[in-house]
């Protein structure tokens, strides 16, 4: 069995290492990025006997791969991301873990350091075993998940270069220990509405970009309602559309010459994110009363595998949670061609991820650890 106290130990160690993505970093974030986390993992996993390598995803940001060779030719892999969202609004010290009422608090406690702590405790346990694990075990500690899932395609390419095709690849995310076989993707865009500046005492001499953007926002809202009315083609449900950011104007006495909107468009299985983004651009150009320019945001396909596989059933039996789908995106989109089967799974609830007082229940760690014990056929204590 994986000892609970060792999982708690490793989760506490991980929380203390800041790994806020640079895009979300502020004065409280410490040194941005995953570098300190990767350095610590390289040291710990190497001490556990794993073959450890790193690969640059973007300058200064790395995936880490750790392999424990097994006694068969089967591969069981885990992708768990190392970056976190920002900490500037947190109501607790983000990097000083503490336990209260059976929960561990700190940034990343749920998303995604809990699963990484379980893997570390499992590798630690295997270190003292006199024989190799039944199958090859592979950990990818992936970079840049929170802002575009950029580490996952790099890992997929690494698997291809190494001629490794995992029989089972688990993408670690908080699912309350339910095996997830489908989720949405994204195909958003950023729209800049162009106007003409003028003094607000003579607004008719200008063209108000904010006013035109407001009309466009209403049209986008109607498009969201239309998307929600469509018949879903899978259990993942229908697409959605949200205007999530807006910025515009230069001064209170200037007719605004520009206004920029960020539009988040969630895509469902069967939709091409690139085509969705192009269609959204056409819709905005036809709807807006003033000229626009458009730039792409992250484009991530939906993930879907048919329900009812043997691995899904085993995971559900071990966890006590039925297989299902979720609305949020994960790294799983990158792997259907890289592994025989892909599942999203992990302890904790997405409702607790990214919170200002992020935490996870210790009993969730224990439930997930039980699944890993059965999946990896770990020795009993």
Among the three residues 245, 268, 300, which one is the final residue of a domain in this structure?
300
* 258 and 327 both lie in a single domain: no
Q: Residue 297: what pLDDT?
A: 86
Please tell me the predicted confidence (pLDDT) of residue 11.
98
Cα–Cα distance for residue pair 123/126, rounded to 1 Å: 5
Name the nearest CA neighbour of 117 among 324, 364, 326: 364
Same domain, 130 and 234: no
Q: Which among 10, 243, 222, 197 is positioned nearest to 120, based on CA atoms? A: 10
Rounded Cα distance between 19 and 177, Å, is 24
Q: Specify the CATH number for the domain of residue 24.
A: 3.40.630.10
**Which residues does 279 contact at the CB level (< 8 Å), separation at least 6?**
none
3-state secondary structure of 320: coil
- Same domain for 133 and 51: yes
Per-residue pLDDT, 129: 81
Q: Are 158 and 96 in contact (CB under 8 A)?
A: no
- Is residue 380 a part of any domain in this protein? no
Q: Are residues 153 and 263 in the same domain?
A: no
- Which of 246, 270, 300 represents a domain boundary (last residue)? 300
Whole-prediction pTM: 0.93
Kindly state whether residue 166 falls inside one of the protein's structural domains: yes
Give yes or no: residues 75 and 209 share one domain: no
Convert 86-100 into a string of H (helix), E (strand) and C (coil): CCCCCCCCCCCCEEE
Q: Is residue 66 in some structural domain?
A: yes
Instruction: Tell me, yes or no, whether 345 lies in a domain.
Output: yes
Q: Is the same domain home to 192 and 166?
A: no
Q: Which residue has the tokens 């996993």?
A: 45
Residue 312 and residue 177 in one domain: yes
pLDDT in tens, the chain (381 residues): 899 999 999 999 999 999 999 999 999 999 999 999 999 999 999 999 999 999 999 999 999 999 999 999 999 999 999 999 999 999 999 999 999 999 999 999 999 999 999 999 999 999 878 789 999 999 999 999 999 999 999 999 999 999 999 999 999 999 999 999 999 999 989 999 999 999 999 999 999 999 999 999 999 999 999 999 999 999 999 999 999 999 999 999 999 999 999 999 999 999 999 999 999 999 999 999 999 999 988 889 999 999 999 999 999 999 999 999 999 999 999 999 999 999 999 999 999 999 999 999 999 999 999 999 999 998 775
Judge if 289 and 324 occupy the same domain: no
Does 247 share its domain with 148?
no
> In angstroms, rounded to a whole number, what is the distance separating the alpha carbons of residues 123 and 41?
12
Selection from 78, 146, 155, 65 nearest residue 118 by Cα: 78
Sign of CA dihedral 11, 346, 140, 47: positive
DSSP state at residue 343: E
Q: Are residues 291 and 322 in the same domain?
A: no
Domain membership of residue 241 as a residue range? 185-300
Within the chain, strands assigned E span 51-58, 61-68, 75-81, 98-100, 103-105, 136-142, 168-172, 180-183, 185-194, 240-248, 258-267, 292-300, 303-304, 324-326, 342-345, 359-361
Q: Tell me the two tokens of residue 217.
A: 């926002």
Which of 300, 317, 336 corresponds to the end of one domain?
300
What is the predicted pLDDT for the residue at 128? 78
> Is 154 within 8 Å of 327 (Cβ atoms)?
no
Structural domains counted in the chain: 2
Q: What end-to-end distance do the CA atoms of the chain give, in Å?
A: 5
- The answer to whether the peptide bond before residue 115 is cis (omega within 30 degrees of 0) is no
Identify whether residues 208 and 248 lie together within a single domain: yes
**Residues sharing a CB contact under 8 Å with residue 270, sequence separation 6 or more, in sequence order:** 233, 234, 302
pLDDT in tens, 22-78: 999 999 999 999 999 999 999 999 999 999 999 999 999 999 999 999 999 999 999
Is residue 381 situated within a structural domain? no
Give CA–CA dist 280/298, Å, rounded. Answer: 14
Question: Do residues 250 and 158 both lie within one domain?
Answer: no
135 belongs to a structural domain: yes
């Amino acid at each position: 069995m994986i000892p609970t106290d060792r999982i708690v130990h490793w989760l506490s160690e991980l929380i203390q290492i800041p790994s806020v993505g640079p895009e979300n970093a502020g004065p409280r974030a410490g040194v941005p990025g995953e570098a300190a986390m990767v350095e610590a993992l390289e040291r710990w996993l190497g001490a556990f006997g794993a073959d450890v390598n790193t690969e640059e995803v973007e300058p200064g940001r790395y995936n880490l791969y750790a392999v424990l060779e097994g006694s068969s030719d089967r591969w069981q892999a885990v992708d768990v991301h190392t970056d976190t969202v920002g900490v500037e609004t947190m109501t607790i010290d983000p990097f000083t873990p503490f336990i209260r009422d059976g929960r561990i608090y700190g940034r990343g406690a749920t998303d995604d350091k809990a699963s990484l702590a379980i893997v570390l405790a499992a590798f630690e346990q295997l270190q003292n075993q006199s024989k190799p694990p039944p199958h090859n075990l592979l950990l990818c500690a992936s970079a840049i998940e929170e802002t575009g899932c950029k580490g996952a395609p790099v890992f997929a390419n690494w698997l291809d270069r190494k001629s490794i095709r995992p029989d089972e690849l688990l993408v670690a995310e908080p699912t309350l220990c339910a095996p997830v076989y489908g989720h949405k993707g994204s195909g958003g865009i950023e729209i800049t509405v162009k106007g003409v500046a003028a003094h607000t005492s003579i607004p008719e001499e200008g063209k108000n970009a904010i006013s035109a953007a407001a009309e466009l926002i209403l049209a986008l809202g109607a498009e969201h309602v239309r998307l929600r009315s469509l018949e879903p083609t899978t259990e993942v449900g229908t697409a959605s559309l949200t205007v999530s950011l807006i910025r515009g104007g230069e001064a209170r006495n200037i007719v605004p010459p520009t206004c920029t909107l960020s539009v988040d468009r969630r895509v469902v299985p069967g939709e091409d994110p690139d085509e969705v983004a192009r269609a959204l651009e056409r819709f905005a150009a036809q709807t807006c009363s003033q000229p626009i320019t458009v730039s792409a945001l992250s484009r991530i396909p939906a993930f879907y595998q048919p329900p009812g596989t043997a691995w899904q059933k085993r995971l559900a039996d071990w966890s006590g949670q039925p297989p299902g789908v979720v609305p949020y995106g994960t790294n799983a989109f990158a792997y259907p061609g890289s592994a025989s089967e892909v599942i999203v799974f992990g302890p904790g609830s997405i409702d607790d991820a990214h919170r200002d007082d992020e935490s996870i229940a210790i009993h969730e760690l224990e439930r997930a650890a039980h699944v890993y014990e059965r999946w990896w056929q770990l020795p009993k204590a």
